[in-house]
Amino acid sequence: MPDKKILLEVKDLKTHFPIRKGVLNRTVGFVKAVDGVSFSVQRGSTLGLVGESGCGKTTVGRTLLRLIPASSGEVTFDGQDILSCPMGQMKPLRSRMQMMFQDPYGSLNPRMTVEDIVGEGLTVHGIARGKQRRDRVSEILEQVGLSRRYADRFPHEFSGGQRQRIGIARALAVNPEFIVCDEPVSALDVSIQSQIVNLLQDLQEKLGLTYLFIAHDLAVVEHISEWIAVMYLGRIVEYASRDELYSNPIHPYTKSLLSAIPHPDPQKKHARIVLKGEVPSPANPPRGCHFHPRCPWAEQACKINDQKLEIKADHHLAACWKADKIGRQ
Amino acid sequence: MSEHEILLSVQNLSTHFFTQQGIAKAVQEVSFDIPDGHMTALVGESGCGKSVTSLSILRLIPDPPGKIVGGKILFKGQNLLELSEHRMRAIRGNDIAMIFQEPMTSLNPVFTIGNQIVEAISLHQGIKGNAAWDMAIDMLTKVGIADPARRVQEYPHQLSGGMRQRAMIAMALSCSPSLLIADEPTTALDVTIQAQILELLKKLQNENRMSILLITHDLGVVAETAQTVVVMYASRVVEKADVQSLFGSPRHPYTQGLLRSLPRLGQRRKRLDVIGGSVPNPVAFPSGCKFHPRCPIGAKDPHCQACEPPLQEVQPGHAVACWYAEGYRR
């Protein structure tokens, strides 16, 4: 990757949740939510992480911030190993890495005022208090397009889009460098979505933020990200620059995902690959390539051999050995 | 549209909710027709009244606080609002069926899928026992559920989201309704599953010559499936047209703004266009044209702020409610 410095690097990250059963609560298996994921994010850029529900994209985001313990792997943030960092020393790192959530209703405490919600991080990290804190909160509220008069109100007084702005303000309060955006626009109305997407882009430009943008909407991801990783069942199946991924998708899953999106244009008729079946359970993933039971191009070898991410073109990795044969269909 | 008979005609429907905060005029003077065998889409953002419209058609508005305060709903010529509750029950689920957004909350968790489908069949068609069960298995096969003989014995929690929605569709179609109301049928589903369900609905519609009223906020889904589109904003219909002219030449500033604000695959822009402001609260709608505070023209125009434009046909089959729309006679 060219000159831009890498801010976050993830190597072979695994997050497995034990399945416990019976009176003795014995572990009978593992849900392999994240099963060997590697990627890196450059400073000041956006990596889009796309996939369907249950593919592990949210778990990746949470594991990076150590909200969920990782099973194995390595996460390096600005040269510092995060996973082996003792919990007591995580606090200074946490102010540099923040998170935004999908549900603007569930993610704000209904009993706290906007000032307390946005300012809590400032108090916890000892950045500001009293008058100073109030000034900082007002400043951030204005930065995200809310009036400073809102500081004394409660979350229920706001619409979904405004609440999401409060969520952004909370994340920004402690001057982070890196923000995990977990489906920040999917719960919003169409006319509000574009407002929030533009706001995120403006803030990135102004503050030099780095985003990990988790979403299932490929059109939004195309708009906001420079790099895109497509996940399926705990693994990254394709990883490429935006231009590469959208003009030349290689993996059959990416191809079908792109073809499944309905276009808001009745003139446009496009060939659609309708996948059979559903996403298998991550507790019991299929052998070989995880995608083979749904893949229209699968053959015997796909059922046996695991697929690794391999370089297929410039700025383009995919985990499919048949990629060259499927080609540009 | 003239070659098609009108199956359902909603005329000047108004549904209000009488709440402690005031009267929420959720639906006001809504009119549209559903031709026989057509897929009609009702589009709008949350709180615009699209779901209340569909519940009004089936008379499922909780009363109190809700009440249908005016209008007619003509289904095959008879006004549903004048029927007795007894007659209405015979129509619900039989002539007009409905499927909902979240199949988990609309299926009963303590009964098997089969039980619930058989209930509909025996209630409306008088078929009982094994014959009804065979029919249920038949329906599950039709909606593409693998191994239906086993699935029929399973409970909703044992099925995945996409399969539950298929089971809901099987139940809704078990009495061969002439109208299916689908309220955000794919919103809770993943794109690859959404594609499956939409294909299925289209296929079943053609096979059974059924009309569908599709309620959605997703303009992509509308463009790919519907023939006619009704756009609602803040309790009113602001534009209605066939799908080609609505997407090709939208006339209302709201529809135009909505289409411009969508990020589209393969069309890269530096910034997205935006409709400013937020969706108004039904208890306190703005005066005049309800879109005026967010409209590039209406925000400055006193006429828009004072007078509400009625829906007017500006071209055969294309109606719009905006003083400044092309072809609108003031």
Chain B CB within 8 Å of residue A194 CB: yes
Sheet of B96-99: strand order equals: B96-99, B179-183, B211-216, B39-43, B228-233, B236-242, B318-320, B312-315
Q: How many CA atoms lie within 13 A of B238 on its CB side?
A: 30
Mean pLDDT for all residues in chain A: 88
DSSP, collapsed to helix, strand or coil, labels residue B283 as coil
Report how far residue B119's alpha carbon sits from residue B93's, in angstroms, rounded to the nearest whole number: 11
φ, ψ dihedrals at B292, nearest 5°: -60, -35
Report how far residue B324's alpha carbon sits from residue B330's, in angstroms, rounded to the nearest whole number: 8
> What is the 3-state composition of chain B as percent helix, strand, coil, each rounded to the nearest 5?
35, 25, 40
pLDDT recorded at residue B268: 76
Residue of A198, A261, A275 lying closest to B271 (CB–CB): A198
pLDDT recorded at residue B2: 45
φ, ψ dihedrals at B302, nearest 5°: -65, -30
Residue of A160, A218, A263 lying closest to B224 (CB–CB): A263
pLDDT recorded at residue A327: 61
CB contact under 8 A, B192 and A264: no
Chain A CB within 8 Å of residue B43 CB: no
CB contact under 8 A, B262 and A257: no
Report how far residue A63's alpha carbon sits from residue A72's, in angstroms, rounded to the nearest whole number: 11
The one-letter code for the residue type at B245 is S
CB contact under 8 A, A246 and B266: yes
H/E segment holding residue A286: none
Q: How many CA atoms lie within 13 A of A175 on its CB side?
A: 8
Chain B CB within 8 Å of residue A270 CB: no
A227 is written with which tokens? Answer: 């790099």
Sheet of B78-79: strand order equals: B22-35, B6-19, B66-75, B78-79
Inform me whether the pLDDT recorded for A118 exceeds 60: yes
The pTM (predicted TM-score) of the whole model is: 0.85
pLDDT recorded at residue A10: 94
A69 is written with which tokens? Answer: 């313990």
The answer to whether A201 touches A224, Cβ cutoff 8 Å, is yes
Q: How confident is the model at residue A87 (pLDDT cuts 50, 70, 90)?
A: confident
Inform me whether the pLDDT recorded for A315 exceeds 90: no
Chain B neighbors of A213, CB-CB under 8 A: none
Chain A neighbors of B191, CB-CB under 8 A: 52, 216, 218, 257, 260-261
CB contact under 8 A, A191 and B261: yes
pLDDT recorded at residue A2: 42
CB contact under 8 A, B192 and A189: no
Report how far residue A229's alpha carbon sits from residue A239's, in angstroms, rounded to the nearest whole number: 4
φ, ψ dihedrals at B162, nearest 5°: -65, -40
DSSP, collapsed to helix, strand or coil, labels residue B186 as coil
**Count of pairs with CB atoms under 8 A, one residue in A, one in B:** 125
Task: List all residues 6 or more positions away from A28 whose beta carbon is below 8 Å from its beta carbon.
Answer: A19, A20, A21, A22
Chain A neighbors of B163, CB-CB under 8 A: 278
DSSP, collapsed to helix, strand or coil, labels residue B303 as helix
B106 is written with which tokens? Answer: 């609309």
**Which residue's structure tokens are 């909902």?**
B100
Q: First CA to last CA across chain B, in angstroms?
A: 27
Chain A CB within 8 Å of residue B193 CB: yes
The one-letter code for the residue type at B214 is L
Nearest-Cα residue of chain A relative to residue B161: A278
Which of 284-303 (B) contact A at CB < 8 A?
294
pLDDT in tens, A53-66: 888 889 999 999 99
CB contact under 8 A, B261 and A53: no
What are the start-end ranges of the H helices in chain B?
50-57, 85-91, 103-106, 113-125, 129-142, 148-151, 161-173, 191-208, 219-225, 243-248, 253-261, 302-306
> ipTM score of the complex?
0.78
pLDDT recorded at residue A239: 94
The residue ranges of chain B whose pLDDT is under 50 are 1-2
Q: How far is B91 from chain A (nearest CA, A)?
A: 33
pLDDT in tens, B106-133: 888 999 999 999 998 988 888 888 999 9
Closest CA to B11 of B66, B70, B62, B78: B70
DSSP A162-188: HHHHHHHHHHHTT--SEEEEESSSTTS
Percent of chain A with pLDDT over 90: 46
pLDDT recorded at residue A76: 92
The one-letter code for the residue type at A68 is I
B224 is written with which tokens? Answer: 């790919």
Q: How confident is the model at residue A1 (pLDDT cuts 50, 70, 90)?
A: very low
pLDDT recorded at residue A304: 86
The answer to whether A157 touches A104, Cβ cutoff 8 Å, is no
pLDDT in tens, A166-217: 999 999 999 999 999 998 888 888 888 888 999 999 999 999 999 999 998 8
pLDDT in tens, A9-37: 999 999 999 988 888 888 888 888 999 99
Beta-strand ranges (E) seen in A146-300 are: 178-182, 210-215, 227-232, 235-241
Inform me whether the pLDDT recorded for A49 exceeds 80: yes
Q: How confident is the model at residue A329 (pLDDT cuts 50, 70, 90)?
A: very low
Q: Which residues pair with B231 in a beta bridge?
A: B43, B239
The answer to whether A38 touches A13, Cβ cutoff 8 Å, is yes
